[in-house]
Amino acid sequence: MTMSYLLLLGVLLLAATSQSETLDTRIVGGEDTIIENYPSLVQLEYLNPYYGTWSQDCAANILTTYWVLTAAHCFVENDRVEFMRIRAGSTYRMTGGSVHYIDLVRNHPDYGVAIVHDADISVMKLLTPVVYSPYIQKGTIARQGFVVPDNYPVVHAGWGGIYTNGPSSYILQHVQIYTINREVCARRYGDGVSSSITDNMICAGILDVGGRDACQGDSGGPLYADDVIIGISSFGNNCGDPYHPGVSASVAAFSDWIIANAR
């Protein structure tokens, strides 16, 4: 039995309903792709009320026609739902697709309570439903308790910075990296920080090589394994750093909560 088949056995499909140790959540070293390859991925945009301009600073994942999944810190730092919207079904940043405004946000209650960056998970309800098409589809999330193996190929996708503090990409990017043992990851982050790498997180990158990662603007976006969303881009130390892997919230640690609250 192949590892891919084992992974697919451990996932569930959500049914559609009507209803710097900074946050460098980051696509570096990637390639152009199209939204049809990642139709559950959407852009999360924010309004600057002083200038009346919108910017894409996070991403999210379609769970149902009314609900999307993202990172909790994407809302904590931008806490006015009337200043938030998603853009679904577009390959290009800040243009095309369909725009939907946010009704409400539910951050995981444990986010940042005991450990910095822990439980970095949030669900958002839309005011108007997305309409499924080849460009817009619900995602598949890992079942509660699933453990992804070490050194397993995974993929980030998004419109984030092409290098640390660099410009965002106008065209959707994707990049393949590999999961990294959590204990190794914790040691890499060092004394005083290692405790922030918890069982609720997935580390991934190209250890001791770097050059591939998510980057600023990819926060809340997906970490895929075999087209299944296993992680939500959360934090890291720079983008594509050879010593420090990027860190995502483990979806499998919160699947039951996600399903219970995305309704």
Residues 92 and 127 in one domain: yes
**Helix (H/G/I), strand (E/B), else coil: 115:** coil
Q: At residue 71, does pLDDT exceed 80?
A: yes
Q: What integer pLDDT is reported at residue 191 of this predicted model?
A: 56
Residue 173's CATH number: 2.40.10.10
Residues carrying an active site annotation: 73, 120, 219
Choice between 122 and 7, residue whose per-residue pLDDT is larger: 122
Residues 76 and 166 in one domain: no
Q: Residue 181: give the domain boundaries.
A: 139-252
User: Letter for the amino acid at 52?
Assistant: G
27, part of any domain: no
Share of residues in the chain with pLDDT > 70 (%): 87
Q: What integer pLDDT is reported at residue 118 of this predicted model?
A: 95
Residues 153 and 235 in one domain: yes
Tens-place pLDDT, residues 120-145? 999 999 999 999 999 999 999 999 99
Q: What is the DSSP letter of 89?
A: S
Q: What integer pLDDT is reported at residue 195 of this predicted model?
A: 58
Average pLDDT of the chain is 89
Q: How far apart are alpha carbons 244 and 96 in whole angstroms? A: 35
Q: At residue 2, does pLDDT exceed 80?
A: no
Tens-place pLDDT, residues 189-216? 875 544 589 999 999 999 999 999 999 9
Q: What integer pLDDT is reported at residue 216 of this predicted model?
A: 93
18, part of any domain: no
19, part of any domain: no
Alpha carbon of 91 to those of 41, 94, 135, 187, 224: distances in Å?
A: 10, 9, 9, 37, 18
Band the pLDDT of 77: cuts 50, 70, 90: low
232, part of any domain: yes
123, part of any domain: yes
Mean pLDDT to the nearest integer, 152-169: 96
Residue of 219, 256, 234 whose CA lies nearest to 118: 234
Residues 150 and 243 in one domain: yes
Residues 190 and 229 in one domain: yes
185: CB partners within 8 A, 6+ apart: 197, 203, 245, 247
Residues 92 and 156 in one domain: no
Q: What is the pTM of this model?
A: 0.89
29, part of any domain: no
249: CB partners within 8 A, 6+ apart: 71, 119, 120, 121, 200, 201, 202, 231, 232, 234
Q: What integer pLDDT is reported at residue 78 of this predicted model?
A: 62
Lowest-confidence pick of 16-25, 194-203, 219-228: 16-25
Q: Domain total for the chain?
A: 2
